[in-house]
Amino acid sequence: QVQLVESGGGLVQAGGSLRLSCAASGGSIGIFAMGWFRQPPGKEREFVAALSWNGGSPLYADSVKGRFIISRNNANNTVWLQMNSLKSGDTAVYYCNIVDSNYRRTLASWGQGTQVTVSS
């Protein structure tokens, strides 16, 4: 079973940038759509962005559109989330997961996530 490990989080000032990484092991993610999700403090996990298996058809939540960019390298079994112009509302634990082709269901177990804290 594919295992996913997120990294790259940290503390950043509002307006700053971070690049999150999602490394997969135990199998190839090259044939799967991938997504990023986040769980803000005291709230449920929510969708952030997704990308098809070949890097096409990116989809973003309205709250991050124009600021975040999802990308992937299938040869390295890695997915990234470039986060720019960060806001305090982006503070959350960020997770990646395999998603179905419609970006509606997650298909793998959740990793431990990576904490992003944006100070205002």
Q: What is the mean pLDDT of the chain?
A: 97
State the average pLDDT over residues 9-27.
97
Angstrom CA distances, 81 to 30, 42, 54, 71, stand at 17, 23, 16, 7
Give the integer Cα–Cα distance in Å for 15 and 25. 33
pLDDT tens column, 87-111: 999 999 999 999 999 998 999 999 9
Say which residues have a Cβ less than 8 Å from residue 110's Cβ, sequence separation at least 6.
4, 95, 97
What's the average model confidence in pLDDT over 21-30?
96
